[in-house]
Amino acid sequence: MTHTVLRLDASARLQDSVTRDLTGRITARWPEARIIHRDLAVTPVPQLTEGWLNANFTPADQRSPEQIETLALSDELVGELQQADTIVIGLPVYNFAPPSALKAWIDNVARVGVTFRYTENGPEGLLKGKRVILAMASDGTGAGSEIDFASPYMRHILGFLGLTDLTLVAADRLLLDGETSRAKASGQIESLPAVA
Query: How would you write the pLDDT of the chain (196 residues) with one tens digit per residue?
Result: 899 999 999 999 999 999 999 999 999 999 999 999 999 999 999 999 999 999 999 999 999 999 999 999 999 999 999 999 999 999 999 999 999 999 999 999 999 999 999 999 999 999 999 999 999 999 999 999 999 999 999 999 999 999 999 999 999 999 999 999 999 999 999 999 765 4
Binding residue ranges: 11
DSSP-assigned beta bridge partners for residue 119: 122
Residue 79 lies in a domain: yes
Range of the domain at 114: 4-190
Residue 195 lies in a domain: no
Distance CA 168, CA 123 (A): 24
- Cβ burial, residue 150 (10 Å; 0-12/13-18/19+): buried
Residue 10 lies in a domain: yes
Residue 54 lies in a domain: yes
Binding residue ranges for FMN: 11
pTM of the model: 0.96
Residue 71 lies in a domain: yes
HSE (CB half, 13 Å, CA atoms) of 46? 11
φ and ψ at residue 14, rounded to 5 degrees: -85, -25
DSSP-assigned beta bridge partners for residue 88: 7, 133
160, 110 in Cβ contact below 8 A?
yes
Residue 66 lies in a domain: yes
Confidence at residue 193, expressed as pLDDT on a 0 to 100 scale: 79
What total of structural domains would you count in the chain? 1
Amino acid at position 43, single letter: T
What is the DSSP code (8-state) at residue 138?
-
Residue 122 lies in a domain: yes
Residue 116, domain CATH: 3.40.50.360
Q: CA 21 from chain center: how many Å?
A: 16
Confidence at residue 194, expressed as pLDDT on a 0 to 100 scale: 67
Residue 152 lies in a domain: yes
